[in-house]
Amino acid sequence: MFCVKTVPAPTWVNAEIILKRLLSNRRLRSTFTSSSTTRPEKTDHGRNRSGAQLASARLQSPGRSGGAGRDRTNSSSAANEISVDFEQSQEAYRSKDSLELLRSLVVFKLCSYDFLVDKNEEIMDLGKKILGQKLFDQLMKMTFYGQFVAGEDHISIKPLIQKNQAFGVGSVLDYSVEEDISQKEETQKESSSVSAGGKGSIGEGYREKNYEAGEQLGDSQREVIGTCTYFYADEAKCDQHMETFMKCIKASGGSSMDGFSAIKMTALGRPQLLLRFSEVLVKWQRFFTFLSSQQDGMESLEQRLELTQLQELIIKLGAKGDFHGWFTRKKGDSAGCIDNLDWNSLLDDRVNTSDLLLAPNVKLDKLEPLLKNFTIEDENQLKRTLERLDVLAKCALENDVRLMVDAEQTYFQPAISKLTLDSQKIYNREKPVIFNTYQCYLKEAYKNVTVDVELSRREGWCFAAKLVRGAYMYQERERAEEFRYEDPINPNYESTSTMYHRCLHYVLDEIALNRKANVMVASHNEDTIKYTLKRMNELGLLPAENKVFFGQLLGMCDQISFPLGQAGFPVYKYVPYGPVSEVMPYLSRRAQENRGFMKGAQKERELLWKELKRRLVSGELLYRPVY
């Protein structure tokens, strides 16, 4: 089965209305219901991972003897298994003095109150007025800032990085100065409407699938308050952000071995440009989905196009481009059929394939150039964005640091993922240098992961991913409700965890099969961590291989991070830093994102109290970590 990577329907289309209208069209119905249909016995692309391949991978893993018998293999497996105890408070908090433990208790308790989280911006503004900026900053350093932020600059954070490293925990450095996207930027975009229908014409079926991207995407900018988006002033500002990230990368390389550094694509280019490019990518993807539904004898789940039929259909739709000739020259004798990845390759060569890049226009009832509203200046800005990413990737290589591209809002994400993949093709040839981020609270997460893994296989580069549950749930759901489109987020925490484990299972299997892929399990969920350890033991993936990493936020879940590190697993804290006044939007966002976790962090609070009581009884209340 071949899954198609698409942007979640929400931002571009009112899914409820569309599905009702399309139910009468059997061929289109199969197209739009296929995304949620899976065959558990097979992975995407028809590849069976549960049989001989994985069995072979287990036997050939380090520490295993491929020619040994079953008893010997089981004995080796038992010897290599590593278990981690997450109940030992003394081990978990060995790196903290008692005042740090007390601060954690106070902060976690305050974060459990909804009114403090919901009104945190107003409360902080009031605090500044009453205390003044200097006293307010000092209060923040004693509480929330001190708990979740490492320091003000790359020099002041070094002691904390070195301390964590001494106790087995590495760092993912992140300069966390955030600003909201400008509400004065362009708020009107041309409507992106695409239509499709019966064979040989742009007919009813696709006409009713109306992409009103302009109004929704423009208005959505007012809905990103508190989210991690960089304000775009001009290209010089983007260059300054790049320089800041370079300092972050160098600080990571100079402070620890095998470090990570996080970057955000909205800092390297104009957010509105990323939004427009995302729209182009989605329109192109939807057109492929429609075309694949039009071919006789072709199941929509396979999402393939037979080139001869494609050329005939395109001509009937009014296009003149030679699709058959382009793909034949590119693929040779194997060009009888193309799939989603082949289709997307046209965009990679968009300067020379502009005559082939077409999409339906519902108002004009004809095909028009896909890049009609994507100007030369847009293309130049996109090129400069890639050049900045290229500079950062080279800097990361020189400093032996991995680069982690953060995920952002769904209306930016298609472009962010595309640019990240383009860089991975270049820099992940020998080893994983650039990591893409996948948000598993999205309904499309599994499709995105599997398609990108397949792309890495075909092109011969190392797949590298950070798996997170997600950072923008409240904003995404509010926007979906306001504009009446399908919620892109899984319905509840349990379904998100199921999606997370499904994606993780797939990537771990990929690692076991070829030992090229890497994954960071970025999770505060103890069950997810235990699930990962269990799968690693089953697949023979050893901590020393440095293929599977673990990550938690600074100031959270030390009872997970430090026991993992002391057991030999590569584990990292996501370490934000920046001036107090400029990092407050970051703290505000984290409070919103983790309100559920904070309210439910009963176990962490219990372990903190347990360790404080132990130190009090044993006379170690003045304990200072030695490293």
Q: Is the pLDDT of residue 559 over 90?
A: yes
Domain boundaries of the chain, sorted by first residue:
89-183+226-272+374-618, 281-294+302-369
Strands (E) in 201-243, as ranges, are none
State the Cα–Cα distance between residues 345 and 360, nearest whole angstrom: 19
Tell me how far CA of residue 61 lies from CA of 52, 80, 504, 540, 610, in angstroms.
14, 11, 19, 6, 40
Tell me how far CA of residue 448 lies from CA of 452, 477, 547, in angstroms.
6, 20, 20
Q: What pLDDT is recorded for position 49?
A: 52
User: Residue 610 in 3-state DSSP?
Assistant: helix
Closest C-alpha to 445, from 465, 459, 427, 463:
465
Q: N- to C-terminal Cα distance for the chain?
A: 52
Q: Which residue has the higher pLDDT, 73 or 463?
A: 463
Tokens standing for 154? 């790359």
pLDDT digits (tens, 9 = 90+) for 164-216: 999 999 999 988 765 444 434 434 333 333 333 334 344 444 544 433 343 34
The percentage of the chain sitting over the pLDDT mark of 70, rounded to a whole number, equals 74
Token pair 């509480």 is found at: 143
Q: Is the pLDDT of residue 157 over 60?
A: yes
26-30, 60-64, 108-112, 308-312, range with the lowest pLDDT = 26-30
Tokens standing for 117? 């989280």
Q: What pLDDT is recorded for position 476?
A: 80
DSSP output for 463-477: -EEEEE--S-HHHHH
Beta bridge partners of 574: 172, 553
State the Cα–Cα distance between residues 124 and 229, nearest whole angstrom: 20
Q: What pLDDT is recorded for position 316?
A: 85
Q: Which residue has the higher pLDDT, 486 or 555?
A: 555
CATH class of 89-183+226-272+374-618: alpha beta
Rounded to the nearest 10 degrees, what angle do helices 376-398 and 413-427 cross at?
50
Beta bridge partners of 305: 338
Name residues whose C-beta falls within 8 Å of residue 570's C-beta, 6 or more positions apart in sequence: 170, 258, 543, 546, 548, 549, 550
Beta bridge partners of 467: 438, 521
Strands 358-361 and 366-369: antiparallel
Q: Is the pLDDT of residue 248 over 60?
A: yes
Extract long-range pairs of 127-136: CB within 8 Å, 24+ residues apart: 133/581
Q: What pLDDT is recorded for position 310?
A: 86
Q: What pLDDT is recorded for position 302?
A: 60
Mean pLDDT of 362-388: 87
Q: What pLDDT is recorded for position 19?
A: 30
Mean pLDDT of 373-385: 89
Strands 337-339 and 304-306: antiparallel
Burial class, 139, CB count within 10 angstroms (exposed 0-12 / middle 13-18 / buried 19+): middle
Q: Is the pLDDT of residue 117 over 70?
A: yes
Mean pLDDT of 292-308: 67
144-159: buried (b, 16+ CB within 10 Å) or exposed (e) per residue? bbbbbbbbbebeebbe
pLDDT digits (tens, 9 = 90+) for 501-542: 999 999 999 999 988 999 999 999 999 999 999 999 999 999
Beta bridge partners of 571: 169, 550
Q: What pLDDT is recorded for position 4?
A: 33
Kindly report the backbone phi and psi dihedral angles of residue 551, in degrees, each rounded to the nearest multiple of 5, phi listed first.
-145, 135
Strands (E) in 113-177, as ranges, are 169-175
User: Can you give the C-alpha Rg of the chain in angstroms?
Assistant: 25
Closest C-alpha to 607, from 148, 253, 142, 94:
94
Burial class, 269, CB count within 10 angstroms (exposed 0-12 / middle 13-18 / buried 19+): buried
Closest C-alpha to 9, from 38, 34, 37, 32:
32
CA–chain centroid gap for 197, Å, is 34
User: Residue 366 in 3-state DSSP?
Assistant: strand
- Answer for the pair 418, 281: CB distance below 8 angstroms, yes or no: yes
Mean pLDDT of 87-105: 94
| pTM for the full predicted model | 0.80
